[in-house]
């Protein structure tokens, strides 16, 4: 069976900020890699109408995925329409069954933006329902028996919504791929402009590198790292399952076990 890793996030560029380096290393380790942004970026512009900016940002996401050889899955809803509800869960679950990943990377359960947290919940539930014959997906997809281990990425800025520093359980040394991660993020030109205009983030690419450098300092010392916390195994995989560690070997450190 092909080993697959799947990264699910809320918006175009979210994967690039917190998971893309790990995806690249998993591809080097022989995994087929997939990514999906559930929202299409339709609200991310001061100049373009929703349908135009959604088209632009989807194309940017596809270009970023192609840069690292990832399979890109189209977004499902407009911005701010990410809800933990039955219709959207059925659609996410259908994609989950199509991909049938062994490794699922998704966003932190607590983050500064509600969309990020809801995507985390959707991804976990979709994975939990992957093998339930009586759960209908949209479109209909057969259930899969593939065990899946879920890893939650760091929240944006490495802090929870109350500003408390989050320490990961798994730290992946991405120093060897940081330039490609930066190049991947640079594909999202419209998002950089949007953030420059609305949040003053003139150093969009440097901000991503700063976040990765902080994880590296906290958990390494590595020049750059991505951090993850492993989700509980119940209904998903064996208690001892840790395919991320098995795949990445010396490039991954478990915190507290250095």
Residue 201: what pLDDT? Answer: 59
pLDDT band at 35 (very low <50, low <70, confident <90, very high): very high
Q: Over range 45-71, report the average pLDDT.
A: 94
For residue 251, the 8-state DSSP code is G
pLDDT band at 202 (very low <50, low <70, confident <90, very high): low
- High-pLDDT (> 90) share of the chain, %: 87
pLDDT band at 58 (very low <50, low <70, confident <90, very high): very high
Instruction: Classify 103 as helix, strand or coil.
Output: strand
Provide the domain limits for residue 234.
4-254
Entry pTM: 0.95
Q: Over range 118-141, report the average pLDDT.
A: 98
Domain count, the chain: 1
Residue 258: what pLDDT? Answer: 41
Alpha-carbon distance of 247 to 150, in angstroms, equals: 14
For residue 129, the 8-state DSSP code is T
Residue 116: what pLDDT? Answer: 97
Encoded tokens for 53: 């900016």
- Between the alpha carbon of residue 151 and those of residues 107, 115, 188, 241, the distances in Å are 8, 18, 25, 12
pLDDT band at 200 (very low <50, low <70, confident <90, very high): low
> Which CATH number goes with the domain that contains 34?
3.40.50.10320
For residue 37, the 8-state DSSP code is E
């Amino acid at each position: 069976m092909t080993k697959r890793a799947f990264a699910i996030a809320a918006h175009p560029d979210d994967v690039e900020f917190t998971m893309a380096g790990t995806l690249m290393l998993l591809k080097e380790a022989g995994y087929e890699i997939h990514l999906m942004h559930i929202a299409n970026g339709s609200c991310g512009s001061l100049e373009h109408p929703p349908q135009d900016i959604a088209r632009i940002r989807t194309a940017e996401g596809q270009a970023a995925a192609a840069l690292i050889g990832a399979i890109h899955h189209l977004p499902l809803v407009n911005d701010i329409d990410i809800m933990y509800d039955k219709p959207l869960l059925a659609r996410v679950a259908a994609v989950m069954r199509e991909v049938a990943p062994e490794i699922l990377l998704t966003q932190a359960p607590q983050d500064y933006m509600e969309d990020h947290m809801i995507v985390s919940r959707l991804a976990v539930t979709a994975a939990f329902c992957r093998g339930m014959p009586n759960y209908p997906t949209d479109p209909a997809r057969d259930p899969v028996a593939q065990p899946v281990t879920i890893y939650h990425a760091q929240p944006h800025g490495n802090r929870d919504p109350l500003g408390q520093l989050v320490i990961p359980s798994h730290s992946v040394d991405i120093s060897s791929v940081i330039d490609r991660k930066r190049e991947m993020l640079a594909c999202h030109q419209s998002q950089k402009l949007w953030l420059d205009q609305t949040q003053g983030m003139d150093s969009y690419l440097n901000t991503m590198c700063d976040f990765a450098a902080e994880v590296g300092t906290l958990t390494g010392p590595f020049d750059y790292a991505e951090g993850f916390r492993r989700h509980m195994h119940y209904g998903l995989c064996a208690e001892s399952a840790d395919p991320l560690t098995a795949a990445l070997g010396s490039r991954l450190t478990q915190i507290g076990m250095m």
